[in-house]
Amino acid sequence: MTISEKKVYPRTGDKQTVYLKNVITDPSIIVGDYTMYNDFVNDPIQFSRNNVLYHYPVNHDRLIIGKFCSIACGAKFLFNSANHMLESLSTYPFPIFFEEWGLDIKDVAKAWDNKGDIVIGNDVWIGYEAIILAGVTIGDGAIIGARAVVTKDVMPYTIVGGVPAKFIRKRFPSEIISTLLEIKWWDWPKKRIAQNIDAIQSGQIKQLR
């Protein structure tokens, strides 16, 4: 049985936490196994509507989230349609109101700057009410501080915070980061992960090699 066939709520009696992959129906939102979202304000099943914003089909942009991510309540992903064209002499989105101005409907997407997909790696922790902007890639193992606004890419196993989000520190020495990126424990079979949880949680990197 695959994760997609399993229950939505991973904890008995907890309706605030969901396996995100199991509640997503939008094909442009791709979520890996065991990634969880917690929401104590809104229904976590409504993640696509409440947390993935300005994500319109006309732009063909995607939200890609890896495996074993932890996404805290109120985290938001702001897509390209939230932008306005900065090279224009006006920030007013004329192409959106094509009927009013006699413009071509096929040019609607010219109303904003298109910075691309949002890509979140594996084992990423996104803190309370953090905001991730369009075009950002967050590397494996990174941590995004509460209410941070992430405007630029985040390297693997890096902690960032603030507005705009800035580097705070690396989580581990470079050699440990390199090993983690090489072994990719999140891609192991469930049984192997279960056998190594103690080593993962206690930081025994040598036992994972």
Just list the catalytic residues: 84
What six digits make up the tokens of 90? 């006006």
What six digits make up the tokens of 26? 């939008």
Q: How far apart are CA 166 and CA 168, in angstroms?
A: 6
Q: Are 187 and 172 in contact (CB under 8 A)?
A: no
What six digits make up the tokens of 7? 């229950």
Q: In what side-by-side order are the strands of the sheet with 118-120?
A: 29-31, 63-65, 118-120, 137-138
Q: Are 172 and 160 in contact (CB under 8 A)?
A: no
Strands 36-38 and 131-133, sheet pairing: unpaired
